[in-house]
Amino acid sequence: MSSSVLAPPPEMIEVSAEGELQVTFQVAMIGTDGLLIGSDRKAATRTFSAPDSQSQPGDKFCTNDEGTVLCFFAGGPQAKTIANIITVECDPTEDNITTWHHSLRTAAEKVKARSVGDEILVIRPHMLDIVLVSKRDIEATVGSPLTEKLCTGVYAHSRFFVEHFWKLAPLSELRKLMLVTLAYAAQERPESVGDGFDIFTIKNGNYERETISSDAEEVLKAVGKMDEFISRNLFPMA
């Protein structure tokens, strides 16, 4: 299967210390009418000549040419490599869930570098199927298919919003919760999260991508309403 980003050919792939550091925060939510994925866009680059990382906006996802598998990656520099291999080597038309998960785990373990905590959300839009592939050290695991919500990447207290306020609702309603969660994460962890957000809406086997600025009116409005709600209900004026 072809891919918009080709994976390296060797069976075991070395990843050097030079490359992108995926300082990432991502959110996945199941809704009544589809799936919503949100990711920040801050990517830090480190090179041997400039060991101090430098950040710039960048994509935190990859897909095959057919759009039948999407991978969102968070973690170290090898997370992107793992995601690329999955889009090239794994067959998203595989119906047997055990075989599909085995292929994901095998692909992840082809990256020889030891991982400190790589996370790849793998989505098959035509099936509304989403699983988390995690790799720590040299071993990879594949979780059960997602049925509710999940946050990946750096720890931010804004995960609280997803954990406590998510409910099975239309994506149009979950979108507000998504924007609030991403925006608060960017406020809390500006060194790791920010530079705008990518929002993916997945319905009926297809997906749409939007790139939104951190200070877009929709984002500021959602955060403002949450700030107002917290101030009014938790810290009312005497």
Q: What is the CATH number of the domain that holds 227?
A: 3.60.20.10
Q: Please classify residue 126 by burial: count the beta carbons closer than 10 Å to its beta carbon, then call 0-12 exposed, 13-18 middle and 19+ buried.
A: middle
Q: In terms of residue numbers, what domain contains 84?
A: 19-234
pLDDT in tens, 43-72: 876 544 544 556 788 999 999 999 999 999
204 in a structural domain: yes
Say what the pTM is: 0.85
151 in a structural domain: yes
Q: How far apart are CA 203 and CA 9, in angstroms?
A: 33
77 in a structural domain: yes
59 in a structural domain: yes
Q: What's the structural domain count of the chain?
A: 1
11 in a structural domain: no
36 in a structural domain: yes
7 in a structural domain: no
3 in a structural domain: no
pLDDT in tens, 87-117: 999 999 999 999 999 999 999 999 988 888 8
For residues 10 and 136, is the Cβ–Cβ distance under 8 A?
no
* C-alpha distance from residue 235 to each of 22, 124, 185, 223, 227 (Å): 37, 44, 22, 17, 11
pLDDT in tens, 110-161: 998 888 889 999 999 999 999 999 999 899 999 999 999 999 999 999 999 9
